[in-house]
Amino acid sequence: MARRPSKHLRPARPLDTARFARREAKRSGCYLVRNIPAGHSSKTYTCPGCTKAIPAGMQHLVAWPEEPALGFDTGVEQRRHWHPHCWRLFR
Ligand SMILES: [Zn+2]
């Protein structure tokens, strides 16, 4: 399969979530992952790995698919917040 440059790395669309992201390969594809340090979130999120809450202010991470799914302009729109432990278990 031919590789094409990721939308998220193009300078034309500067997006804070993409700039500090790292790339991780999972069984379902490649994801971009960004750490959210403690004290940097003001909302409670639901972790898709364990369906439990990630309280506001807790250190966690955000991950989204490198290639957007059908119907999405960018993978960032599909970003989910994870407990670091749950993300490691996710394949
Ligand atoms: Zn979790």
- Supply angle C-alpha 16, 75, 89, rounded to 5: 95
- Where along the chain do its domains lie? 24-89
Quote the pLDDT of residue 77: 87
80 Cα to the center of ligand 1, angstroms: 11
69 Cα to the center of ligand 1, angstroms: 23
Element (H, E) at 17: helix 16-19
Mean pLDDT, residues 44-69? 95
Q: Are 49 and 86 in contact (CB under 8 A)?
A: yes
63 Cα to the center of ligand 1, angstroms: 13
Identify the residue with better confidence: 11 or 67. Answer: 67
Residue 41, pLDDT above cutoff 60: yes
Q: Residue 20: which pLDDT band, with cuts at 50, 70 and 90?
A: confident
Q: Residue 70: which pLDDT band, with cuts at 50, 70 and 90?
A: confident
Residue 30, pLDDT above cutoff 90: yes
Name which of 29, 45, 24, 44 is nearest 87 in CA terms. 24
